[in-house]
Amino acid sequence: MNETLNSEPDLLLNGQPYGLASRGRSRWKKRFLIVALLFEICLVVPKYAHGQFLGIFDPIFKSIQSDIGSSLSQINQVMQQTQKLYQTTLAPLASLNQARGFVANSINSFRGQMNQIFNTSFVSAVTPGPQQFESILHSRLSSNIPALQASFTSNYGAIPQVNAASPQDRVMMDVDDALGQENLKTTLIADQGADTILQTANQMENQVAVSTPGSNPFLTAQAQVANLRCQAYIQKMLAAELRQEAGRIAHDNVLVKRRTTAAGGINSLITGALTAR
């Protein structure tokens, strides 16, 4: 009976033995402390691991800052010295500004006068037909070639019909009209080409006015190309002039041949008349 009394708790708390409740609370406290400790370990361990991972790159960063950094510093010094050499000796800024100012002054002084000369009107026709022909001829547009041909026929007349003139005269008229129209069309195309050359020259002058050191070879190459194009237009005009001169010589030679033929015919008539007597 004494053992039964000793096994039972002395005090009760809300109908439960007080000694059992104390043991339950202490067990939950231990579990809570273990969980808190594990959570703290989970928070602390990755920080140390991350620090150890970044520590691997410290020697690499030090090598870049010490070895490669010094080399880059020397390269920058050489580049600065080279740039200073260009600015003071090879391409001084004062000389560049002086050259640019000279080009700008030349453009302002002469471009307007040259454009005035190139665009001067030489209109001299009085009657409506020649005025239209002259305006087309001075239009400087190759697209007006069909209108030029129609105006040429209207002003210089068409070739006579077959029975209105001798075959030789009709042939010579056709040749002369063809050479005249061909050269007039060539001049119209050449005028348009000259405008293109002048625009290219103005663009080159504008580029020279703002050019930088080292751009001279490119400007020179562009000038050579424009010069070749201009030479091609000149050669085309010279060829047209030579064709016109050759046609004129051939036309004069035809007249000589016709006079010779006519003189031979008259000689034959005179000889026949004298023989008949």
Quickly count helices (H) and strands (E) in the chain: 10, 2
Please indicate whether residue 52 or residue 188 has the higher confidence score (pLDDT): 188
Q: How far apart are CA 277 and CA 129, in angstroms?
A: 58
- pLDDT digit string, tens, across residues 64-75: 666 667 777 888
Q: What is this structure's pTM?
A: 0.58
DSSP letter string, 140-176: --GGGHHHHHHHHHHHH-PPP-GGGS-HHHHHHHHHH
Q: How confident is the model at residue 41 (pLDDT cuts 50, 70, 90)?
A: low
Whole-number pLDDT of residue 144 = 93
Over residues 108-120, mean pLDDT: 84
